[in-house]
Chains A and B, each alone.
Chain A
Amino acid sequence: MSLTNDYIKSKLTEKFGDQVTNFEEPYHMLSFEAPKDMNLKVMQYLYDEPDLSFRFLTDLCAVHYPDNPGRELAIVYHLHSLVDNFRIRFKVFTDINTPDVFTSANLFSAANWMERETYDFYGVNFVGHPNLKRILNVDEMDYFPMRREFPLEDQTRIDKDDDMFGR
């Protein structure tokens, strides 16, 4: 059976009720959201359910939205059901002061380094991760450089009019 966005949506709503929210289909890819303490339950369900079997973690990354108080960090999972060749996007939001999210490294070995990378750049604390330390940046770094409070350009420069060139 081939999967459809509507079918997955109905399965998820049936199982988790109104816990899973914000169903969207940007560019035909089903995207939804769950509370952050539910992330493992949702992924385990998607993994185990025989007619869904989303057993391939394609991508894991974080996004920083400084203007969303209480939901500053989004952790985005791209899951792939290889049986039906179907992709979905799954997000959890967390606030930036207690960015604790359960690790998915026990479900997907691939998540190990992707979570370390996400921790490295955004400071998301993956609870239960076997080896959560910096991976691409130096160990001594004491900030999370991909957060948006660190703009790329040197803020002391005055020779560039930023209204005209980029943000």
Chain B
Amino acid sequence: MSEQHIKLPEGSIGKQTTTLNLGPTHPATHGVFQNILELDGERIVGAEQTVGYIHRAFEKIAERRPLYQITPLTDRLNYCSAPINNMGWHITCEKLLNVKTPKRVDYLRIIIMELARISDHLICNSIVGVDTGAFTGFVYVMQYRELIYEIYEEICGSRLTTNIGRIGGFERNFTNTAFTKLEKFLNEYPKVLKEFENLFTRNRIFMERTMGVGPISAERALNFGFTGPNLRAAGVDYDVRVHTPYSSYEDMNFEIPVGSTGDCYDRFLVRNQEMYQSISIIKQAYQKVQEFKGAEAEVFHADVPEYYLPEKKDVYTKMEALIWHFKIVMGEIDMPKGEVYNSVEGANGELGFYLISDGGRTPYRLHFRRPCFIYYQAYEEMSRGSMLSDAIILMSSLNLIAGEMDG
């Protein structure tokens, strides 16, 4: 055949290394990522990441949406822990609007956020297991993610993209079923987590596949803008919940687990320990919720009728609620001018919202600080010199979520 059908890039003949396209639709990448790896045998000498396959222009869309319509957009950032994003957004709005939430709302929010953190870490750690060849753990813990989703369902009616809560609080009070399910979770899950740990932590195959893979030093991690478990695995005890407490996290007593080498094994251990801490936080918050008596025990939102979208049954039966509902939905309430940056500790790290309001009904500019997007750029540096199979584990152990990365 004289005609050349395949056009090769310049300099690709006679080159000593192999170029390999990993992704964008590779089953092992758990999402739409493309990595163009430069391989010397099986060793990675270079990597170039391509992101943006599921970019949905949320920041642009948000410029024409009133505040309460932006909540569903935040769901779709890190969809493994959507409630944290929702709460982060509500807390940002409340900061802009100077809304003070009651303590009970704060504690209920903590319960939901920590459940979301557990479900996110659970996915991440069990997927690391799958990528090292251990499928059992993944299947075993899934039923508890299911239980967490049932709790969400009981509170807001949906499971994955939750759109949970409103500015000022929740759309309805937690039902008894929700609390029963929460108790069931708190009783059963620690034992399951312990068993999950037994499957992995001292498993020789797992240790050899993850120890020393994709390490990063604390200094480089900070320079690369790492936050969350990935930064803590490198040995920096930075946690937004402690450093800038929001939603009454200052009332809770918990520890921040840190690693030392910043490799995949440390990230796994840090996430596991964080799940134990989350369980402890949920227990404390639940106890505090139970201590409210009388009318206080029924509080599930702040008294801010001008921003809190009223309950549907009130809209149909009460004049005031109908008026406020109408005003909020028709956009007759402008927000104050100002610019505010607020961040929460998402499951992947510091999830920030930079909101500029020029006094209208919609934000003038909204920027999401998406932790995934920021730390994925370190992938090249972290994977260089490791084997091809390590590239996959590294990707899942960083907990890369395509939705969050592409915004």
Q: What separation, in Å, do the CA atoms of A166 and B225 have in the docked complex?
A: 36
Tell me if A167 and B362 are in contact (CB < 8 A): yes
Tell me if A113 and B373 are in contact (CB < 8 A): yes
Chain A residue numbers with a CB within 8 Å of B365 are 61, 63-64
Which of A12-20, A32-40, A145-153 forms contacts with chain B? A145-153
Tell me if A56 and B64 are in contact (CB < 8 A): no
Tell me if B52 and A135 are in contact (CB < 8 A): yes
Tell me if A152 and B223 are in contact (CB < 8 A): no
Interface of chain B residues 208 through 254 with chain A (CB within 8 A): 220, 222-225, 236, 238, 243-244
Tell me if A59 and B341 are in contact (CB < 8 A): yes
Tell me if B225 and A110 are in contact (CB < 8 A): yes
Tell me if A56 and B225 are in contact (CB < 8 A): yes
Question: Can you offer 11 A-B residue contacts whose CB atoms are under 8 A?
Answer: A27-B340, A59-B369, A82-B238, A85-B243, A87-B341, A112-B377, A136-B55, A145-B60, A146-B59, A152-B61, A166-B64
Which of B16-24, B125-133, B296-304, B349-357 forms contacts with chain A? B349-357
Tell me if A26 and B222 are in contact (CB < 8 A): no
Tell me if A166 and B367 are in contact (CB < 8 A): no
Tell me if B52 and A167 are in contact (CB < 8 A): no
Tell me if A108 and B223 are in contact (CB < 8 A): yes
Interface of chain A residues 152 through 167 with chain B (CB within 8 A): 152-153, 164-167
User: Which of A108, A121, A152 has a CB less than 8 Å from the CB of B64?
Assistant: A152
Tell me if A146 and B60 are in contact (CB < 8 A): yes
Chain B residue numbers with a CB within 8 Å of A58 are 225, 341, 343, 350, 352, 369
- Write out, one digit per residue, whether chain B residues 355-392 have a CB within 8 A of any chain A CB (1) or not (0): 01000111011010100011011100000000000000
A105 to B, closest residue via Cβ: B377
Interface of chain A residues 68 through 109 with chain B (CB within 8 A): 76, 78, 82, 85, 87, 89, 108-109
A148 to B, closest residue via Cβ: B63
Min CB gap B332→A, angstroms:
10
Q: What separation, in Å, do the CA atoms of A63 and B236 have in the docked complex?
A: 32
Q: What separation, in Å, do the CA atoms of A27 and B338 have in the docked complex?
A: 8
Min CB gap B377→A, angstroms:
5
Interface size on A, residues (CB 8 A): 38
Given contacts A58-B225, A121-B59, A137-B52, 4 further A-B contacts (CB under 8 A): A58-B369, A61-B367, A108-B225, A166-B361
A114 at the interface (CB under 8 A from B): yes
Of B343, B356, B374, the most chain A CB neighbours within 10 A belong to: B374
A132 at the interface (CB under 8 A from B): no
B134 at the interface (CB under 8 A from A): no
B62 to A, closest residue via Cβ: A152
User: Which of B59, B236, B377 has a CB less than 8 Å from the CB of A113?
Assistant: B377
A43 at the interface (CB under 8 A from B): no
Q: What separation, in Å, do the CA atoms of A109 and B382 have in the docked complex?
A: 13
Min CB gap A27→B, angstroms:
5
Q: What separation, in Å, do the CA atoms of A55 and B220 have in the docked complex?
A: 11
Known: A58-B350, A63-B356. A109 touches B223 (CB 8 A): yes
Chain B residue numbers with a CB within 8 Å of A146 are 59-60
A127 at the interface (CB under 8 A from B): no
Tell me if B64 and A110 are in contact (CB < 8 A): no
Q: What separation, in Å, do the CA atoms of A145 and B236 have in the docked complex?
A: 37
Min CB gap B155→A, angstroms:
29
Known: A108-B225, A136-B52, A167-B362. A61 touches B354 (CB 8 A): yes
Q: What separation, in Å, do the CA atoms of A167 and B55 have in the docked complex?
A: 24
B57 at the interface (CB under 8 A from A): yes
Tell me if A114 and B374 are in contact (CB < 8 A): yes
Tell me if B60 and A152 are in contact (CB < 8 A): yes
A29 at the interface (CB under 8 A from B): yes
Q: What separation, in Å, do the CA atoms of A146 and B365 have in the docked complex?
A: 10
